[in-house]
Chain A
Amino acid sequence: MEKIVYDQLQEQLYYEKMPNGLDVYLLPKKAFNKTYAVFTTKYGSVDNQFVPRGKTEMKRVPDGIAHFLEHKLFEKEDGDVFHQFSKQGASANAFTSFTRTAYLFSSTSDVEKNVETLIDFVQSPYFSEQTVEKEKGIIGQEIRMYDDNPDWRLYFGVIESLYHHHPVKIDIAGTVESIADITKELLYECYETFYHPSNMLLFIVGPIDEQAMMEQIRRNQAKKTFPSPEPIQRYVYEEPKEVATPRRVIPMHVQTSKCLVGIKAKHVVSKGKEKLTHELAMNVLLDYLFGKSSSHYERLYQAGIIDETFAYDYTEEESFGFAIVGGDTSDPDRLSEELKQMILSFEPSALTAEALERVKKKKIGAFLRALNSPEYIANQFTRYAFHETSLFEVAKVLQSLTVDDVREVVDECFHESQLAVCQIVPKASM
């Protein structure tokens, strides 16, 4: 077991790679009541074409299958795993993102049992025809719920506008039609390909005894057998750097209009410290341009064009990256024009060293605040580890970020052809 100490942050992290390839990280936090554990596979909604384990041909699977599999993994021959967790006082959950599927629990008692339950249920799939069919009704309602949610429609509307081919444009849950094609055989095929320990990471944070817990995990893994690890072949989508649809308007029964501008990253650094730098540079840039202390924010807010829902965010994974800016607005056309103007007329020379320092300070404070949350640490650590970098490096990389790093991001992303606008407008006004 390796011990990694972060002096400035006063954190100690323990790491071990199991013989089957599973990465395990433990972060003791003695003052907390809660232990939070998250078991994640590097498999998400974008993995819709791949070579199934033991096969040689690329295969396209139905949209929404990673998410469907996440739901179904909780069901076992003798009932629901949720049940088991709640008997042990834990609350369990799971989520599927574009690139990851995570299973988690948090609990303040019976932690050893809960860890055992978590690892075991994820590593013992049980799918039956009957329960697969039943799940289609439940997920169907989950999809309907999002259909009625204008913020979700807008978010996916803008992503869909940004991409021509990349499956990031497809809703994580799929559609009522696409999930109809899911079968238990397909679920097993996805499971066997992506749920190999060598494609997974377990992170546990809380008032734990790291020695005893690592030993427990070693023993748990030693009693199971897995086939030898194989590299996963995922389809590589050819994606033009220009956006697919520069402007899209979705009429809905809403009272308030909404508008988002999406910025498509042209080239994405796939891993390592360079990735962290790229991602943080974009975040710093967005903060500088659109943060509450920016002159743009003040002007738009005073003019009544934006309100407190105005937000911005950058999402970057291995094969795609996009920034999104906007929110509710009284005038969606004016907001799209203003935002596009701000982006396209931005001169990197306007970013002074002093302004950069202020944004960095703000980001460092935000990073410390995020470390109050065991959930944040576990989820983000996993994401960074999958990108071969570390969450605990964030403050250091932020500190060393230069005006040039930010300039590069501007040169790369701030072009008219890389912008897409999506609006939700009240149906009556169409």
Chain B
Amino acid sequence: MIQEHVTTIQGVRVHLLPTDKYKTTTLVLKLKAPLAKETVTMRALLPYVWQSGTANYPTMKALRTYLDDLYGATLNVDLMKKGEHHVMTIRLDVANEKFLSEQMPLLHEAISLLSDIVLRPALENGRFFSQIVEQEKRALKQRIQSVYDDKMRYANLRLVEEMCQNEPYALHVHGRLEDIEAITPESLFAYYEKVLREDEIDLYVIGDIEEVHTLEMIRSHFSFPSRSAQTVSLVTTQPKTVIDVRQVVEKQDVKQGKLNIGYRTHITYEDDDYYALQQFNGIFGGFSHSKLFINVREKASLAYYAASRLESHKGLLMVMTGIEPTNYEKALHIIHEQMKAMKQGDFTDEEMAQTKAVIRNQLLETLDTPRGLVEVLYHNVISARKRPVEEWLAKIEDVSREAVIRVAEKVELDTIYFLTGMEGK
């Protein structure tokens, strides 16, 4: 179903995904290290410094002008938490020259540019440009602060913070505000050198590519300094038992209350029960036919959205909904009832079948976008468990009612977080 050819070149795993579906070619570079207080802020800053200039195009304007010349190649970076890992991602997407009237070696230029961004950044006196670092430190502060203004994101983040106290997972993907000031061009550069030596690095190339030639281009451009043979930094999540359910109420000047609830599932991507957990989440709150949507929104008319999602590599289940502050008890009661129903096996064969069909559809659709395809395949890198897509589809089909109930029984309520108006509860 998916042709993924993996080759290791100088400690970098290169994944080639030839397909003629797209009119562009996409390069995705992922760099992974454990999530840790000491490094989280540097990692949050580094990719943004990278995308501000290279040795050849040392300013943002020069680099962006060059991207425009490459028929508007897009360059973007982002950060993700995958369980207790912190992943930096750089994406470069470039038109496939066969659709252009002008013949330009765009893929070659793109590979060369991506390697420049990571391996040959803009430097002064053997370290990053201080002007770039200062500018990106300021942008990082704004990025961290902006979450307070988006209440949906804020409530999600606060729940994780409350729920995972003393676990690395509580760290923000964009780092710690209080650590930004102390970062210097020197300290960031020293950390950068460590990243090149020690991060686990994966490069994906998706598009209408010729494999041998593409590998040659990568080999000639990606000359990483001597890297320790791929350090597999597998961080396992320590099982945590819930002693007391935490309840946190926070007041702000908001019109809509945000009720977010965190559960521990004690199941991660690596477990055999993972498929049943997906199925559980689908029946409980993952879709518009799920219990949460039907009961909180359609029947009780309390909310516009009421959904649940999984943090697959951390084993968390998160419920989120936006309600009138005075409806807190009512909504919470309905959500508890739905969980109880799941644990009691109170769901129909029709709900089972429907959820399987939708999960299958969702997975196949995700594979239709270059970005989605990479995210699905990257699960295999994060986890020691390799799951080919065919296995995924077959195992979802095989999930039984009993397995879903077994999973439901493991799910444990951990924290209830409520962001409410000044006059609320």
Contact residues of A with B, CB < 8 Å? 8-10, 29, 31-34, 80, 82-83, 86-92, 106-109, 134-139, 141-142, 144-145, 147-151, 253-256, 291-295, 297-298, 301-302, 304, 307-309, 328, 330, 358-359, 361-366, 368-369, 371-374, 427
Interface string of B14-40 (1 = CB under 8 A from A): 000001111110000000000000000
- B358, CB-defined interface residue at 8 Å: yes
Which residue of the partner chain, among A89, A91, A254, contacts B149 with CB atoms under 8 Å? A254
* Known contacts A134-B301, A254-B148, A298-B59: A145-B256 contact under CB 8 Å: yes
Chain B residues positioned under 8 Å from A364 (CB to CB): 71-72, 95, 100
Q: How far does the Cβ of A211 sit from chain B's closest Cβ, in whole Å?
A: 23
Q: Which of B216-224, B235-243, B365-373 contacts A (4 or more CB under 8 A)?
A: B365-373
Assembled-state Cα–Cα distance A33/B254 (Å): 42
Chain B residue at smallest Cβ distance from A253? B253
Interface string of B227-264 (1 = CB under 8 A from A): 00000000000000000000000001111100000000
Find out whether the CB atom of B288 lies under 8 angstroms from the CB atom of A138: no
Assembled-state Cα–Cα distance A20/B365 (Å): 33
* Known contacts A32-B368, A33-B367, A144-B322: A90-B361 contact under CB 8 Å: yes
Q: Which of B137-145, B180-188, B380-388 contacts A (4 or more CB under 8 A)?
A: B137-145
Find out whether the CB atom of B73 lies under 8 angstroms from the CB atom of A365: yes
Assembled-state Cα–Cα distance A32/B350 (Å): 28
Most buried by A among B139, B142, B370: B142
Assembled-state Cα–Cα distance A364/B70 (Å): 10
A10-B99, A34-B368 known, 9 other contacts, Cβ within 8 Å: A87-B350, A87-B354, A108-B360, A150-B149, A253-B254, A293-B64, A304-B138, A368-B24, A369-B72
Which residue of the partner chain, among B23, B59, B60, B288, contacts A86 with CB atoms under 8 Å? B288
Find out whether the CB atom of A141 lies under 8 angstroms from the CB atom of B303: yes
Which residue of the partner chain, among A254, A294, A307, contacts B139 with CB atoms under 8 Å? A307
Chain A residues positioned under 8 Å from B368 (CB to CB): 32-34, 374
Find out whether the CB atom of A148 lies under 8 angstroms from the CB atom of B256: yes
Interface residue count on the B side (C-beta < 8 Å): 72
- B374, CB-defined interface residue at 8 Å: no
Assembled-state Cα–Cα distance A359/B354 (Å): 47
Find out whether the CB atom of A145 lies under 8 angstroms from the CB atom of B304: yes
Taking CB atoms and an 8 Å cut-off, the chain B residues in 340-370 that contact chain A are: 350, 353-355, 357-358, 360-362, 364-365, 367-370
Assembled-state Cα–Cα distance A383/B417 (Å): 42
Which residue of the partner chain, among B68, B322, B362, contacts A293 with CB atoms under 8 Å? B68
Interface string of B45-67 (1 = CB under 8 A from A): 00000000000000111001101
Chain A residue at smallest Cβ distance from B106? A365
Find out whether the CB atom of B149 lies under 8 angstroms from the CB atom of A144: no
Q: Which 9 A-B pairs have the closest CB atoms?
A: A365-B72, A362-B72, A89-B357, A137-B301, A365-B71, A293-B64, A142-B304, A108-B364, A144-B256
* Known contacts A86-B288, A149-B151, A368-B23: A293-B65 contact under CB 8 Å: yes
Chain A residues positioned under 8 Å from B370 (CB to CB): 372
Question: Mind listing 13 A-B residue pairs with CB under 8 Å?
Answer: A86-B357, A87-B354, A137-B301, A138-B298, A139-B304, A141-B304, A149-B151, A151-B150, A255-B148, A256-B145, A292-B64, A368-B95, A373-B369
- B146, CB-defined interface residue at 8 Å: yes
Find out whether the CB atom of B146 lies under 8 angstroms from the CB atom of A301: no
Q: How far does the Cβ of A112 sit from chain B's closest Cβ, in whole Å?
A: 15
* Known contacts A87-B353, A256-B142, A427-B253: A106-B149 contact under CB 8 Å: no
Find out whether the CB atom of B322 lies under 8 angstroms from the CB atom of A145: yes
Chain B residues positioned under 8 Å from A34 (CB to CB): 364-365, 368
* Known contacts A87-B354, A372-B369, A372-B370: A292-B72 contact under CB 8 Å: no
Find out whether the CB atom of A302 lies under 8 angstroms from the CB atom of B24: no
Chain A residues positioned under 8 Å from B74 (CB to CB): 366, 369
Taking CB atoms and an 8 Å cut-off, the chain B residues in 117-149 that contact chain A are: 131, 135, 138-139, 142-143, 145-146, 148-149
* Known contacts A10-B99, A372-B370: A87-B22 contact under CB 8 Å: no
Find out whether the CB atom of A141 lies under 8 angstroms from the CB atom of B71: no
Assembled-state Cα–Cα distance A309/B149 (Å): 13
Chain B residue at smallest Cβ distance from A93? B288
- B273, CB-defined interface residue at 8 Å: no
Q: How far does the Cβ of B27 sit from chain A's closest Cβ, in whole Å?
A: 13
Chain B residues positioned under 8 Å from A368 (CB to CB): 23-24, 71, 95-96, 99
Q: How far does the Cβ of B194 sit from chain A's closest Cβ, in whole Å?
A: 26
Find out whether the CB atom of A362 lies under 8 angstroms from the CB atom of B361: no
Chain B residues positioned under 8 Å from A29 (CB to CB): 21
Find out whether the CB atom of A369 lies under 8 angstroms from the CB atom of B357: no
Chain B residues positioned under 8 Å from A307 (CB to CB): 138-139, 142-143
Chain B residues positioned under 8 Å from A80 (CB to CB): 298
Assembled-state Cα–Cα distance A138/B301 (Å): 5
Q: How far does the Cβ of A225 sit from chain B's closest Cβ, in whole Å?
A: 32
Chain B residues positioned under 8 Å from A141 (CB to CB): 256, 302-304, 322-324
Q: How far does the Cβ of B172 sit from chain A's closest Cβ, in whole Å?
A: 15
- B69, CB-defined interface residue at 8 Å: yes
Find out whether the CB atom of B23 lies under 8 angstroms from the CB atom of A372: yes
Chain A residues positioned under 8 Å from B73 (CB to CB): 365
- B163, CB-defined interface residue at 8 Å: no
Chain B residue at smallest Cβ distance from A141? B304
- B199, CB-defined interface residue at 8 Å: no
- B94, CB-defined interface residue at 8 Å: yes
Chain B residue at smallest Cβ distance from A302? B135
- B82, CB-defined interface residue at 8 Å: no
Chain B residue at smallest Cβ distance from A309? B146
- B101, CB-defined interface residue at 8 Å: yes
Find out whether the CB atom of B135 lies under 8 angstroms from the CB atom of A304: yes
Chain A residues positioned under 8 Å from B72 (CB to CB): 361-366, 369
